[in-house]
Structure 1
């Protein structure tokens, strides 16, 4: 028997039959082969492979075999995804596999209607595809008997697990899984699916939550036949120039263009349509129906472009792509790999990405990121520290789920999950003292403050752990187009001119605003529109910024093509920063205008930490960036050198009210814990300590 058929022989005979006769597979891929044994044995596992590497089948086919071999009944498998669109995309495939064995798979999320929900609760599917937020809503719902719905649960598949683990949704996911495990009265087999990450072993241990004593297996077979990679960097100057280039470049092909914001997506889509390019748009503020129309139309077309934010970074199927284009560089190597992996799926094709930099300065982050990629480096997936606000949310959610929460027994629901640290008792006291929970002896139930803050639509706001700025629903007649921020509706317009929005790549004239219901009624317009949403970036990491420094110091990008414009821009940047970089550590320079700057090349979070830790030398009033800090103008170079030679304890950044408001459920925490939580997430003490330990060279300019 060949190696490619060995794993097939362990699967259920019906699945073996369909693999050969329905799918016409000659065997399993390397990942699928390696995953069969650990999944069949009930081992927790992390399955690693590039995009389109067959991870879904690697998990589901052995689980279906277990389901048949062991006679599982009811809803025994959960399949969790970060995006509803990804669930919708996967459901037909998983239902088809399940049907081979007379089993079923169904989707449950916010877009699923009440009649479909009633049917799912009545005729329980064997596989339920959902999101952690929808699971939470089911657990606290008055219309769902969670103990009945999940009593047969055996296994959980977490798709794109790295996307969860890197933010608070991951902590929420782990906490919900612990509650489900207690309801099912058994540990749940946990299987994570992920693209390449820099710390796979730690990610698998994290996924196990409070059950790290269970057996686990990291499944990441080496694949030697990876497709060729074609990466090009260009400097185009403006969005309009990018549209002009895309209108003539690779005509006749399907091009997926990634941008860094919803506003940029709308502007580029409008510019492309103005050049008669068949263009579609996908971002989070478009309605689900509008996004699906775009994605379906793009999948069925050939000579076209779809402009997207990170909504299409994950594995949603938009058909065979010819090209991926990136407007400016993404912030992480992991995102670049995800986007690059959308191409090169057909035999004989290469993975490709064209990076179009909109201004000269953007060429340097692109080069720095690509340098780190060429080094074989990928960001470790690090869960956000101190998720105390999620601990508070979980306490309230458990009180809703059980109608009461035991003030001395609540920990039993989560075991040793690290979500609940030494601050947990103080959080519980705060919830009781502040009226979020109302005490009745050794029990507590949901109190008036929780009702006031989170009680709308039966605590719907309590089931989602990320904050979103308030937006207006945009309606053309009864058709939902999407959502826009308030600033797009209050910005000044010339007297006598209509207010026109840019949404879904088209212009919409505003006819009426219902401020109380937050609805905006529009009609199509040929006039140019305005797109605007409040947003803020996190800056670049220490490692990517150090990649930028390496490029400035002469590091090459072998295998990456730089156009003549990009090469010229990079040469100009190297000349511009020639006195700001050194192999010997960091530089402190005084400009001709007297500005004193410390060129740390440490990334925004590390510079933010240094800014907070060194008030005697760092200018208090400045916008923190990736590459440098402005020092106090009254200091001489000798003063700066003397102060920096003194030992310094690192401090967390000071937190303003705006930053505190961005932490959802922060009001459910004691204020000191809320501020500590936000501060820890804005800091990089490791990067800051590295900079402080490096040699510093002080440069006296003639003009200084």
Structure 2
């Protein structure tokens, strides 16, 4: 007799599901399943289930939800929404066997599914529908009159990888789609959120049910996680002065690749170098080593720019058990695609966020009795008289160490749930009009922007301004009865398949100097002419920014300290920067860190601490770097960007740079910079149109081009500027 028989939650499940569990040889239900089953089964409340990867979250949702379907007096529907087609395919494979025994149909629905299968679902609309937000969007747009019939018997929305939606355009789109379906069927549908990584469960609850987050029931797994083994290795790049002429190919990637080849061969692993170009570099180096050693290739690439066929080859290599395989990847393999057991996770350079590192580590240590293993590689430049502040403080090593420290403390970034995503509002306005064949401005506002709706917080006046602006862009027109319809451009856009995605494909800015393209660079902060950037190992001065063409025009900037900004990377939270500062101020490493850092990485930390102490940076916040002044804030990127914007409003060229803000001197003195900070501290916060007047690169989301300037400023600030934290820091400076 299994332990499951003695479980009160197990006894609530349908007898056929109990038999399936017995046949599968389960010893017991997981703690999250025990807690979730009685909450979900009545289909009366919203629930979030948060647990580690492979801790049974999917079963925690589907076992009670399928029991509900079996006990219902009429045919009902479960709508499972996933961020990835590959995850839908995985879940179909997991559910098909069980649901076949239960005689419950399972319907995968995405771009690769045949139209005949979709037609059969639309005829029956019962069982389990596995769908992406984009396909759900297409359903509402193209079958608007049938929405109430198709979804009328929906018993649950199940949202997988909830953390992947929070704070994104797709997340706001998903909120809107679920809300619109509930309007069409005139009732609330219980929502179940599944996630492995949530920094603040209550913020996640507010996301799952806007306006009623306090009613969402939270289930957090308390089961102990696998043992965690960590090793951080340091590598030092030889010093190459910028003006010495020819570029020198760094040797460090080759050394790291050689170490990876030695320690990873013979097992399955995931290697995260963060950038796509680095994925290609390390895959090439490791493939060449396999050829040289005349051994079968074990290293495969995986990133968003590769074709789905190449990505599928990598996923298949990881799943099969005959030959070991390691994927060199970006965050495309962070989410819960079934890739089998992974022995270790490799992080080259600091991860984008602590939450990201936690999610990646969830892939390792999934076999019973095996530890989760993290291998971290830090790369620093050898010190010379022209070393930047970032190099002198060894900030890459300090940041990775700080993130691991926070991970071990159990902290990770809370969800970014307060972004307005007015870009997605533009899409949803066009989509609602497609669904109903037209809509009044009042209907659109009450559906999308009123109290407890996905875009609440936008006033009626602002919404009317948006609608007028969409009319000027030929996205909307109004007929003689005041009904809003698609305009010339709007109709063309909505009728193209690309409309259904709320997000734009990742684009990088081209870097052009004297007519020659130097390469491309991902950019995640404000750009302004006069700002300096680091690219291809050299410092460049921005002359102009062509936003529509995604092009930055630069000239070579001779001399000066290299800037910290080099594009790309995740946005760093203030808590991470504060932990970095704490590590620099300690006299010795905490024991748990001392055991995981190798001698070179320890030397980097010691060098960073010595520089920090010698320069008395614990008390100093203004560093004169010659042509630039560094304001050392130790704040997160959103606060630093707000400080830069406050200074730019007062005529300075300023940009966020790692743990602070770099300010070009020009004709300004340190005193004038401090005076500007004092003014900012005592003045009222400036209007956003004034604060962001000359800022470039504000159009980050797909439909930002269709927003009037003041709403573009408002949506940008909601995502990227922490003005309150910036002003608090400025006031603290005045206090000193």
1:212 to 1:50, Cα distance in 2 relative to 1, 3 A: closer
Aligned equivalents of 1:328 and 1:492: distance in 2? 23
For 2:608, what is the secondary structure of its paired residue? helix
Match of 2:701 among 643, 656, 663: 663
Alignment partner of 1:83 is 2:84: yes
Partner of 1:365: 399
- 1:209 partner SS: coil
Partner of 1:282: 302
Would you say the 8 A contact 2:364–2:371 is kept in 1? yes
Q: Please say if residues 106 and 125 of structure 1, whose CA atoms lie closer than 8 Å, have aligned partners that are also in contact.
A: no
Structure 1, gaps ≥5 residues long: 472-483, 494-533, 699-704
Partner of 2:607: 572
> 1:263-307: per-residue Cα shift (whole Å, max 9, x none)?
111111011000005211111111222211111112214433211
| Counterpart for residue 542 of structure 2 | none
Deviations 1:599-654 (A, max 9, x none): 11113221111112135888415564433433636555555555544524445552
Equivalent residue, structure 1, for 2:634: 601
Match for residue 313 of structure 2? 293
Residue 449 of structure 2 corresponds to residue 449 of structure 1: no
Distance 1:541 1:176 in 2: 30
Residue pair 1:607, 1:629 contacting (<8 A) in 2 also: no
Would the aligned equivalents of 1:4 and 1:33 in 2 still touch at CA under 8 Å?
A: no
- TM-score norm. by structure 1 comes to 0.83
Measured at CA, do residues 644 and 621 of structure 1 come closer, stay the same or move farther in structure 2, by a change above 3 Å?
Answer: closer
1:315 corresponds in structure 2 to 336
- Change in 2 beyond 3 A, CA 1:109/1:580: farther
Query: Hey, what's the Cα distance between the residues in 1 that align with 2:401 and 2:52?
Result: 22
Query: How many Å separate the matches in 1 of 2:693 and 2:410?
Result: 36
| Cα displacement string for residues 501-531 of structure 1 (whole angstroms, at most 9, x for unaligned residues) | xxxxxxxxxxxxxxxxxxxxxxxxxxxxxxx
Structure 2 equivalent of residue 48 of structure 1 = 50
**Distance between the aligned counterparts of 1:350 and 1:656, measured in 2?**
52
Q: 1:697 and 1:55 mapped to 2: Cα distance?
A: 50
Residue 137 (structure 1) shift? 1.0
In structure 2, the residue matched to 1:197 is: 198
Q: 1:351 aligns with which of 365, 372, 386?
A: 372
**What is the number of equivalent residue pairs in this alignment?**
635
- For residue 436 of structure 1, the aligned residue among 451, 459, 475 is 475
| Counterpart position of 1:474 | none
**1:563 has 2:577 as partner:** no
397-406 or 666-675, which moves further after superposition? 666-675
Say whether 1:546 aligns with 2:547: no
- 1:464 lines up with 2:501 in the alignment: yes
1:133-532 maps to which residues of 2 (within 5 A)?
A: 133-141=134-142, 145-209=146-210, 215-223=215-223, 225-237=224-236, 238-276=252-290, 277-301=297-321, 302-360=323-381, 361=394, 362-414=396-448, 416=451, 417-420=453-456, 421-422=458-459, 423-440=462-479, 441-452=481-492, 454-455=493-494, 458-468=495-505
Where does 1:11-50 land on structure 2 (aligned, <5 Å)?
11-20=13-22, 22-42=23-43, 43-50=45-52
305-314 vs 194-203, which moves further: 194-203
Secondary structure of 1:7's aligned partner: helix
Structure 1 residue 679: Cα displacement: 3.5
CA shift in 2, pair 1:72/1:163, >3 Å: farther
Superposed, which structure 2 residues align to 1:109-128 within 5 Å?
109-124=110-125, 126-128=127-129
Note the alpha carbon deviations across 1:433-482, whole angstroms, 9 max, x for none. 54322212131211113134x24xx23232111112579xxxxxxxxxxx
Query: What's the CA shift for 1:655?
Result: 6.3
> How far does residue 125 in structure 1 lie from its aligned partner after superposition?
5.1
CA displacement at 1:492 relative to structure 2: 8.8
Cα deviations across residues 326-345 of structure 1 (Å, max 9, x unaligned)? 11121211101111111111
Asked whether the equivalents of residues 258 and 307 of structure 1 are also in contact (C-alpha less than 8 Å), the reply is: yes
Q: Does the C-alpha gap of structure 1 residues 674 and 636 become closer, same or farther in structure 2, counting only changes over 3 Å? A: closer
Note the C-alpha offset of 1:243. Answer: 0.9
Equivalent position SS for 1:53 = coil
Q: Distance in 1 between matches of 2:672 and 2:600?
A: 42
2:647 is matched with which residue?
614
**Aligned counterparts of 2:672 and 2:478: Cα–Cα separation in 1:** 58
Q: What is the rounded CA distance, in whole Å, between the counterparts of 2:702 and 2:649 in structure 1?
A: 34
What is the CA-CA distance between 1:427 and the residue it aligns to? 1.9
Instruction: Tell me: CA distance 1:127–1:273, structure 2 relative to 1, closer, same or farther (3 Å).
Output: same
Per the alignment, do residues 425 and 669 of structure 1 end up closer, same or farther by CA in structure 2, a change over 3 Å counting? same
Instruction: Indicate how the Cα distance of structure 1 residues 286 and 402 shifts in structure 2: closer, same or farther if over 3 A, else same.
Output: same
**What is the rounded CA distance, in whole Å, between the counterparts of 1:412 and 1:462 in structure 2?**
23
CA distance in 1 between counterparts of 2:74 and 2:309 reads 36
State the alpha-carbon separation in 2 of the partners of residues 87 and 384 from structure 1: 28
> Whole-Å Cα distance in 2 between the matches of residues 344 and 450 of structure 1?
50
Segment of structure 1 superposing worse, 266-275 or 574-583: 574-583
In 1: Cα distance, 2:703 partner to 2:649 partner: 35
**For the residues of structure 2 that align with 1:433 and 1:596, how far apart are their CA atoms?**
44
1:250/1:94 CA distance change after superposition, 3 Å? same
Question: Could you tell me which of 673, 698, 703 is aligned with 2:711?
Answer: 673
Measure the CA separation in 1 of the matches of 2:315 and 2:649. 54
Contact 1:343 1:351 survives alignment (8 Å): yes
Tell me if structure 2 keeps the 8 A contact 1:282–1:291: yes
Unaligned runs of 5+ in 2: 237-251, 291-296, 382-393, 520-565
Distance 1:319 1:485 in 2: 38
> Taking structure 1 as reference, are residues 40 and 409 closer, same or farther at Cα in structure 2, changes over 3 Å only?
same
Shift of 1:678: 1.9
The structure-2 alpha-carbon separation of the partners of 1:558 and 1:160, relative to structure 1 and needing over 3 Å to count, comes to farther
Shift of 1:697: 10
Shift of 1:208: 1.1
1:184-228 residue CA offsets vs partner (Å, 9 max, x unmatched): 332111000112422102211221135558x431111422x3221
Contact preservation (8 Å) 1:404, 1:443? yes
Alignment TM-score, normalising by the size of structure 2: 0.80
Query: What residue number does 1:682 align with?
Result: 720
Q: Alpha carbons of 1:313 and 1:641: their partners in 2 closer, same or farther (altered >3 Å)?
A: same
**Is the contact made by 1:368 and 1:544 (CA closer than 8 Å) also made in structure 2?**
yes
Where 2:621 maps in the other structure, the secondary structure is strand
- 1:112–1:53: structure 2 CA closer, same or farther, 3 Å change rule? same
The 1-side partners of 2:467 and 2:651 are apart by 39
CA separation of 1:203 and 1:539: change in aligned 2, threshold 3 A: closer
Q: Hey, what's the Cα distance between the residues in 1 that align with 2:694 and 2:96? A: 49
SS in 1 for 2:613: coil
Aligned to 1:509: none
Residues in 2 aligned to 1:181 and 1:581: alpha-carbon distance in whole angstroms = 59
